[in-house]
């Protein structure tokens, strides 16, 4: 008999809830059939402290790697998220008999053309507003002069009360050196600040997205066939299916909500006499993809434009209040009603995700924070080790 005729199988590790099971190779007995062989197994459990340390170290290494490779990792992750969003439309086009390449090109060209048209239409007013910003700041200072003087009077009166009864002493103080540093909240902006970096990111993103749309199903099928365990293969198939339906439905629902929010906000601003109401509506729809921070940033911008535009300070303050009320109404009532309990995310976790991914990837990370959190929420339903994260992420 040749030495390779009989191969003894090696031991394998299989994951179970909270532990790893090491399956030993079956021991054949004389005269026993292969189907009746028993596979003994024993459980190796790691201490909770060791598990927590391993998870923390792994998380830090992954986040550090993503931050260091942001020029490539950000476009790749964006392409994967867009693939989950566009795949239902891709499948519908394939059902109509359209080839994969033309379907993928259609899914890429139509949304990109719409975005380019909006940017082209709004580029002129934005450029004019930025050019007039120094003059507008002078106007704001003049209109806020009355409020500033009253605040200074209160500070002066408080200072006099503190100095009352104290002896006057001439104390010569040395000037304190002041160093102004720009905040480094978004290191990812350094990558996208140059034209070459932006062009490279777009090429990576759209190129990856095109091939995912055309060959994604084949890649997924081959990857699943490579998993030896049928149970694990079925679990991964359910995760991928839920990711595609869940993320696509979530982002499309949010996009429709943001569209109507932009129309409502732009109409309200137009009725109140605000200039460039269309631009404000587009800004409201775009900023609403960022929970909490988007509404606050939009309110501040609208408030500055209103103070510049209107002579009455009271009426000018009514504009940002209206803007904030519309965005708050959408966030507190409309979005929870449309999405229901399927994507009820914890506001604290959402805010922390926005801060962390904004620090790692800049503006791109801020917009991708909520989709990535939704992906983690769906994956945690199927992974026993992540069940506690699912309970922390959700509010129901």
With 0-12 / 13-18 / 19 or more C-beta atoms within 10 angstroms meaning exposed / middle / buried, residue 318 is: middle
4 in any annotated domain: no
Distance of CA 218 to the CA centre of its chain: 28
What is the 8-class DSSP label of residue 15? E
Both 284 and 202 in one domain: the answer is: no
On whether both 91 and 203 belong to a single domain, the answer is: yes
Residue 382, burial from CB neighbour count under 10 angstroms (0-12, 13-18, 19+) = middle
In a domain, 242, yes or no: no
Residue 302, pLDDT above cutoff 60: yes
Asked whether residue 259 falls in the same domain as residue 324, the answer is yes
Q: Are 320 and 369 contained in the same domain?
A: no
Query: What CA dihedral angle connects 26, 30, 35 and 41, to 10 degrees?
Result: -20
* Helices 145-163 and 133-143, packing angle to 10 deg: 60
Average pLDDT over residues 15-39: 48
| Residues 303, 380 share a domain | no
Q: What is the pLDDT of residue 340?
A: 61
Question: Are residues 350 and 265 both part of a single domain?
Answer: no
Domain-terminating residue out of 320, 342, 364: 342
User: Rounded to a whole number, what is the distance in angstroms from the first to the last CA of the chain?
Assistant: 64
pLDDT confidence of residue 23: 47
pLDDT in tens, 121-173: 777 777 777 777 677 677 666 666 655 556 666 666 566 666 665 544 444 44
For the stretch 304-358, pLDDT in tens is: 888 888 888 888 889 999 999 998 888 777 877 777 655 677 788 888 888 888 8
The reported pLDDT for the residue numbered 380 is 83
Q: Do 76 and 221 lie in a common domain? A: yes
Residues 222 and 254 in one domain: no
Mean pLDDT across the chain: 76
Confidence of residue 228 (pLDDT cuts 50, 70, 90): confident
**Residue 84 near residue 247 (C-beta atoms within 8 A):** yes
In a shared domain, residues 193 and 273: no
- What domain range includes position 362? 344-396
- pLDDT one-digit tens code per residue, 41-52: 555 677 777 777
Residue 5 lies in a domain: no
Q: Is residue 13 part of a domain?
A: no
Tell whether 266 and 357 lie within a shared domain. Answer: no
**Quick one: 193 and 215 in the same domain?**
yes
What whole-number distance in Å separates Cα of residue 301 and Cα of residue 319?
Answer: 11
Flag whether 113 is in a domain.
yes
44 phi, psi to nearest 5 deg: -110, 115
Query: In total, how many domains does the chain have?
Result: 3
In a domain, 262, yes or no: yes
Q: Is the pLDDT of residue 33 over 50?
A: no
Please check whether residues 204 and 305 belong to one and the same domain: no
pLDDT digits (tens, 9 = 90+) for 181-196: 444 444 444 444 456 7
Share of the chain above pLDDT 70, in %: 71
Instruction: Classify residue 277: in a domain, yes or no.
Output: yes
Query: Does the residue 150 lie in any domain?
Result: no
């Amino acid at each position: 008999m040749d030495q390779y005729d009989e191969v003894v199988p090696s031991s394998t590790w299989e994951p179970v809830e909270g532990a790893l099971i090491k399956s030993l190779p079956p021991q054949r007995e004389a005269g026993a059939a292969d189907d009746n062989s028993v596979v003994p197994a024993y459980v190796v459990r790691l201490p909770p402290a060791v598990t927590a340390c391993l998870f923390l170290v792994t998380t830090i290494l992954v986040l550090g790697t993503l931050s260091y490779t942001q020029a490539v990792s950000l476009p790749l992750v964006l392409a994967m998220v867009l693939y989950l969003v566009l795949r239902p439309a891709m499948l519908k086009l394939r059902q109509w008999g359209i080839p994969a390449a033309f379907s993928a090109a259609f899914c890429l060209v139509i949304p990109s053309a719409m975005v380019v048209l909006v940017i082209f239409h709004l580029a002129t007013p934005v450029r004019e507003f930025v050019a007039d910003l120094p003059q507008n700041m002078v106007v704001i200072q003049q209109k806020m002069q009355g409020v500033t003087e009253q605040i200074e009077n209160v500070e002066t009166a408080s200072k006099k009360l503190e100095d009352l009864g104290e002896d006057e002493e001439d104390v010569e103080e040395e000037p304190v050196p002041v160093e102004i540093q720009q905040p480094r909240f978004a290191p990812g902006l350094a990558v996208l600040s140059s034209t070459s970096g932006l062009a490279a990111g777009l090429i990576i993103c759209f190129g990856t997205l095109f091939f995912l749309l055309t060959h994604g199903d084949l890649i997924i099928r081959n990857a699943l066939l490579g998993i030896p365990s049928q149970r694990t293969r079925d679990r991964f198939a359910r995760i991928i299916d839920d990711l595609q339906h869940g993320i696509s439905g979530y982002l499309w629902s949010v996009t429709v909500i943001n569209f109507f929010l932009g129309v409502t906000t732009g109409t309200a601003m137009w009725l109140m006499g605000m200039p460039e109401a269309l631009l404000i509506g587009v800004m409201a729809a775009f900023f609403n993809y960022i929970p909490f921070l988007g509404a606050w940033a939009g309110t501040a911008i609208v408030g500055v434009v209103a103070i510049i535009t209107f002579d009455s300070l009271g009426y000018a303050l009514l504009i940002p209040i209206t803007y904030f009320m519309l965005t708050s109404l959408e966030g507190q009532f409309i979005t929870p009603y449309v999405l229901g309990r399927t994507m009820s995310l914890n506001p604290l976790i959402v805010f922390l995700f926005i801060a962390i991914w904004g620090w790692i990837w800049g503006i791109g990370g801020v917009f991708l924070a909520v989709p990535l959190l939704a992906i983690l929420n769906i994956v945690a339903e199927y992974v026993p080790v992540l069940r506690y994260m699912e309970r922390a992420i959700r509010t129901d």
